[in-house]
A and B are shown apart, each in its own frame.
Chain A
């Protein structure tokens, strides 16, 4: 029922993204075969070597067949060969993905936590100083670009104050500063969405009825207001994961975080499309999975969605 329909939509979205992304791969200038050979140290690739590589990469098959085999490989997790290092992209990603997941996970937690605090403070103190203060903070963190913040944090906090490490090793011990920088980017939008939905839920009649029953403000907030306000907020969080993944390359390259974002930045400079396409697929997959999870959580919260 609901889950199946959502799963269907998610698959269509993935397929659509696949087609879009493959089109980009197919259209990029430069001859992949020659670049892969050069990447593997072959100084002047001879025509027969190039022909062999073209065959290995199946570059000469008709477009549709190429897409079919590419999609099949991608489904099995084989993201093709990097034009820069000549090695399979999936191996490169496998080594670095945990670090990125750790970073985006920590950033997601931080962003949701901060957004909850700012959004709730703004909604509860609507119109008064908490509202202005919370929205001011949200605006301040939105306005300062993450890479400027990263540079300043790196120099002041890490080098001058001696807190944290410059060469982040991708473990939980050094995740806080990069995760904070990444999280602040989306806190503003999320706290604003939460504030609006909290205010909307706040004016709902059942809240006044529970007040008339003698319920205190904390019970009204936690038992009734927040759950009702959760759905739009969670949908935004689902959408926001794409922004987090999108922001990862910049933050990872500023904080030398050994994730796939930074690896993609290096690929960007070397115009290594398979890696970029791989990163895109990982990003879309995370976005679709996050969207599914959010839908399931919302359905769990709101029984009306289940029918």
Chain B
């Protein structure tokens, strides 16, 4: 029996956007397929079509059969009977997928309660034990915010596969988690599901867990085949760019740490009440050098970044920038920030030229319009100076933020998770940009949880665990 049979599927959203164009795909029981593509390539629409959860008013042609039963055009009551029983769904961010007011146990029981079925005794505790959650009886009563991301995702998988549905859709199940948890989560998914359709933008990760892969671009299928072949010898252009972006080649030529020290951190510690965020850290940063700091969330890496940037004062130890120990006498703009949320780092009411002019005016200089246009061009943006942040994509906003930082002619840039909210391809472009800045002399301190990407462009990568620099 084929778990999923999609024939010539086309989806047009109410606002006229053609999300999918004549897609066909067959997934037989026990097979593991992956669908890969950039953001906006239609992966999301495909999942929603299979679940029958497309927004009201979108036109769908072609046919989708789940476990032999047609989806397209069927009444809501029928579709609801299928969801959860015929097709399981694993969401991206476990914390967002759980109702914060309910216990994790309730979240798992929802699979049965949604269909007004009695929860088989011991099903919840048994399920959690199977995905090796310690002490499931007690933990099930706790609320999601007491759980770690990895464990919660495993609980969500138990909920998704509660009725052992013939088909399971996993929608980027690991992109919100720390990278080393990804393989472990995907193993759990594979173990618990019949047929699997894995959606992701990370080809390398997917290749390790799926047999076949379909590559989507702008709603059309551009490539298909076995994962191993596609990974090793990508022929189609889109596939090749995805492969390169996913697995950045490690930096071949580490530049010598020449030039005088831009920032020196000596024995710095910072405590928040009982918690020691940064514990006796020392670090020297030179001109033109990119220092990467990797650590799990809560390891204190962001606090270190803020200490270096001068946004917080250390409890003990010293941070010397450009030879002065305190920030006040420092030249304005010596250190400039790059934030994880690009859109929030720009004032949504100001046109771009005004955001760019701010650091220059702060130094007493003036910024001409074409100087501003050149600054945007340097970071690869079209020079439309009158646009507002609201109309930029996440990637474009981050480029503007970097342009603004550069206009302050900083000696040191401090970036906290600069690529976390970008998709793979855009992230790759930004890291190249940052690499270019370093090569032109600006020092960069980059904090991230993505070791592989950081290794791709940083000169040195240090690991931080529980406030200590390893």
Does A62 interact with chain B (Cβ within 8 Å)? no
Interface stretch of the complex, out of A80-88, A96-104, A107-115, A211-219: A211-219
Residue of B nearest to A211 (CB): B53
B96 touches A205 (CB 8 A): yes
A214 touches B80 (CB 8 A): yes
Does B408 interact with chain A (Cβ within 8 Å)? no
25 of the cross-chain contacts (CB-CB < 8 Å) are A205-B91, A205-B96, A205-B97, A206-B97, A206-B100, A208-B91, A209-B156, A211-B53, A212-B51, A212-B83, A212-B84, A212-B91, A213-B83, A213-B84, A213-B89, A213-B114, A214-B81, A215-B110, A216-B80, A219-B114, A227-B99, A301-B101, A302-B101, A303-B101, A304-B100
A228 touches B80 (CB 8 A): no
B110 touches A210 (CB 8 A): yes
What B residues does A307 contact at CB under 8 A?
Answer: 145
Residue of B nearest to A225 (CB): B99
Q: Which of A205, A213, A224, A301 lies in contact with B159, CB distance below 8 A?
A: A213
Q: Which B positions have Cβ atoms within 8 angstroms of A?
A: 51, 53, 80-85, 89, 91, 93, 96-102, 110-111, 113-115, 143, 145, 156, 159-160
B143 touches A304 (CB 8 A): yes
What B residues does A301 contact at CB under 8 A?
Answer: 101
Assess A210 versus B114: contact at CB under 8 Å? Given A205-B93, A216-B80.
yes
Residue of A nearest to B171 (CB): A212
Please measure, in the bound complex, the distance between the C-alpha atom of A44 and the C-alpha atom of B156, giving whole angstroms. 84
Q: Which A positions have Cβ atoms within 8 angstroms of B?
A: 204-206, 208-216, 219, 223-224, 227-228, 301-304, 307
Across the A-B interface, give the 8 residue pairs with the lowest CB-CB distance, nearest first.
A214-B84, A215-B114, A212-B89, A214-B83, A205-B96, A214-B114, A209-B97, A213-B84
What B residues does A208 contact at CB under 8 A?
Answer: 53, 91
What B residues does A228 contact at CB under 8 A?
Answer: 99-101
B114 touches A209 (CB 8 A): no
Q: How far is the CB of B43 from chain A (nearest CB, A)?
A: 16
What A residues does B83 contact at CB under 8 A?
Answer: 211-214
Interface of A is mostly: helix
Please measure, in the bound complex, the distance between the C-alpha atom of A304 and the C-alpha atom of B113, giving whole angstroms. 24
A206 touches B51 (CB 8 A): no
What A residues does B111 contact at CB under 8 A?
Answer: 213
Q: How far is the CB of B217 from chain A (nearest CB, A)?
A: 25
Residue of A nearest to B87 (CB): A212
B99 touches A302 (CB 8 A): no
What B residues does A205 contact at CB under 8 A?
Answer: 91, 93, 96-97
Please measure, in the bound complex, the distance between the C-alpha atom of A211 and the C-alpha atom of B85, giving whole angstroms. 12
What A residues does B102 contact at CB under 8 A?
Answer: 223-224
Please measure, in the bound complex, the distance between the C-alpha atom of A293 and the C-alpha atom of B110, giving whole angstroms. 30
Please measure, in the bound complex, the distance between the C-alpha atom of A137 and the C-alpha atom of B89, giving whole angstroms. 41
Q: How far is the CB of A288 from chain B (nearest CB, A)?
A: 26
What A residues does B91 contact at CB under 8 A?
Answer: 205, 208-209, 212
Q: How far is the CB of B166 from chain A (nearest CB, A)?
A: 15
Please measure, in the bound complex, the distance between the C-alpha atom of A234 and the C-alpha atom of B159, giving whole angstroms. 32
Please measure, in the bound complex, the distance between the C-alpha atom of A302 and the C-alpha atom of B160, giving whole angstroms. 25
Residue of B nearest to A220 (CB): B114
Please measure, in the bound complex, the distance between the C-alpha atom of A223 and the C-alpha atom of B98, giving whole angstroms. 13
What A residues does B115 contact at CB under 8 A?
Answer: 214
Instruction: Output the residue of B83, B98, B101 with the most chain A CB within 10 A.
Output: B101
Q: How far is the CB of A72 from chain B (nearest CB, A)?
A: 39
List 19 additional A-B contacts (Cβ < 8 Å) besides A211-B83, A214-B82, A216-B80: A206-B100, A209-B89, A209-B98, A210-B110, A210-B114, A212-B51, A212-B91, A213-B84, A213-B114, A214-B81, A214-B84, A214-B114, A219-B114, A223-B99, A224-B99, A227-B99, A302-B101, A303-B101, A304-B100
Please measure, in the bound complex, the distance between the C-alpha atom of A307 and the C-alpha atom of B102, giving whole angstroms. 15
Residue of B nearest to A306 (CB): B143
Please measure, in the bound complex, the distance between the C-alpha atom of A89 and the C-alpha atom of B190, giving whole angstroms. 75
Please measure, in the bound complex, the distance between the C-alpha atom of A204 and the C-alpha atom of B98, giving whole angstroms. 10
Please measure, in the bound complex, the distance between the C-alpha atom of A209 and the C-alpha atom of B100, giving whole angstroms. 13
What B residues does A209 contact at CB under 8 A?
Answer: 89, 91, 97-98, 156
Assess A206 versus B96: contact at CB under 8 Å? Given A213-B89, A302-B101.
yes
What A residues does B114 contact at CB under 8 A?
Answer: 210, 213-216, 219
Residue of B nearest to A227 (CB): B101
What A residues does B99 contact at CB under 8 A?
Answer: 204, 206, 210, 223-224, 227-228
Residue of B nearest to A205 (CB): B96
Please measure, in the bound complex, the distance between the C-alpha atom of A206 and the C-alpha atom of B114, giving whole angstroms. 13
